[in-house]
Structure 1
Amino acid sequence: MSKVVVITGAARGIGFATARACKARGGTVVIGDIDESAVKAAGKGLGVTALPVDVTSRESFETFLAEAEVAHGPVDVLVNNAGIMPIGPVTEESDADARRCVDINVHGVMLGTKLALERMLPRGRGHVVNIASLAGLLPTPGLALYNASKAAVVAFTEATRLEVLGSGVHVTAVLPSFTNTELIAGTSSPRGQKNCEPEDIADAVVAAIGRPRAQVVVPANLAFPTRLGQLFPERVREAVMRTYRLDKVFLNWDHEARKAYDDRIRS
Structure 2
Amino acid sequence: MTVELKGKVAAITGGARGIGKAIAEAFVAEGMSVAIGDLDLELAQATAKELGDRAVAFELDVTVPASMEAFVRSTEQAFGPLDVMVNNAGIMVVGDFLKEDDRATDLQIDVNVRGVLLGAKAAGRVMADRGQGHIVNIASAAGKVAIARLVTYAGTKHAVVGITDSLRAELRPHGIQVSAIMPNVVNTRLGAGLGSSMIPSVEPEDVAAAVVRVVRGRRNEAMVPWILEPIRMLTAGLPSVARDFLTRALGGHDVMANTDDAVRDAYQAEALEGQQARR
Please report the TM-score for the alignment, with normalisation by the length of structure 1.
0.96
Distance in 2 of aligned mates of 1:118 and 1:166: 13
The reply to whether residue 265 of structure 1 matches residue 274 of structure 2 is no
Distance in 1 of aligned mates of 2:242 and 2:19: 32
The corresponding residue for 1:168 is 175
Farther-moved stretch of structure 1 (176-185 vs 16-25): 176-185
Equivalent residues of 1:21, 1:203 under 8 A apart: yes
The corresponding residue for 1:19 is 24
The reply to whether residue 63 of structure 1 matches residue 70 of structure 2 is yes
Counterpart mapping for 1:147-162 below 5 A: 147-162=154-169
2:258 counterpart SS class: coil
Q: Any idea what the Cα deviations from partners look like across 1:200-241, whole Å, max 9, x if unmatched?
A: 110111111111111111122211211321322333323323
The corresponding residue for 1:73 is 80
Farther-moved stretch of structure 1 (181-190 vs 96-105): 181-190
Q: 1:249 to 1:221 in 2, by over 3 A?
A: closer
1:165 counterpart SS class: helix
Q: Any idea what the Cα deviations from partners look like across 1:52-95, whole Å, max 9, x if unmatched?
A: 10000011111111111111111111000000111111111111
Distance in 2 of aligned mates of 1:159 and 1:227: 20
CA RMSD of aligned residues (A): 1.3
The corresponding residue for 1:194 is 200
The reply to whether residue 8 of structure 1 matches residue 16 of structure 2 is no
1:88 counterpart SS class: coil
The corresponding residue for 2:133 is 126
Candidates 82, 90, 101, aligned match of 2:108: 101
Q: Percent identity?
A: 41
Equivalent residues of 1:54, 1:61 under 8 A apart: yes
Alignment coverage as a number of residue pairs: 266
Instruction: Please report how far the alpha carbon of residue 10 of structure 1 lies from its aligned counterpart in structure 2 after TM superposition.
Output: 0.8
The reply to whether residue 236 of structure 1 matches residue 249 of structure 2 is no
Instruction: Please report how far the alpha carbon of residue 251 of structure 1 lies from its aligned counterpart in structure 2 after TM superposition.
Output: 2.7
2:190 counterpart SS class: helix
The reply to whether residue 211 of structure 1 matches residue 221 of structure 2 is no
2:173 counterpart SS class: coil
Distance in 1 of aligned mates of 2:257 and 2:87: 28
Candidates 235, 240, 252, aligned match of 1:246: 252
Equivalent residues of 1:89, 1:251 under 8 A apart: no
Candidates 245, 252, 261, aligned match of 1:255: 261
Instruction: Please report how far the alpha carbon of residue 259 of structure 1 lies from its aligned counterpart in structure 2 after TM superposition.
Output: 2.9
Candidates 47, 50, 60, aligned match of 1:45: 50
1:158 counterpart SS class: helix
Instruction: Please report how far the alpha carbon of residue 255 of structure 1 lies from its aligned counterpart in structure 2 after TM superposition.
Output: 1.3
The corresponding residue for 1:139 is 146
1:220 counterpart SS class: coil
Instruction: Please report how far the alpha carbon of residue 35 of structure 1 lies from its aligned counterpart in structure 2 after TM superposition.
Output: 1.4
Farther-moved stretch of structure 1 (53-62 vs 248-257): 248-257
Farther-moved stretch of structure 1 (220-229 vs 60-69): 220-229
Q: Which runs of 4+ in 1 moved over 6 A?
A: none
Q: Any idea what the Cα deviations from partners look like across 1:2-30, whole Å, max 9, x if unmatched?
A: 20011010111110000000000100111
Please report the TM-score for the alignment, with normalisation by the length of structure 2.
0.92
Equivalent residues of 2:185, 2:201 under 8 A apart: yes
Farther-moved stretch of structure 1 (162-171 vs 118-127): 162-171
Equivalent residues of 2:196, 2:254 under 8 A apart: no
**Unpaired segments ≥5 residues, structure 1:** none
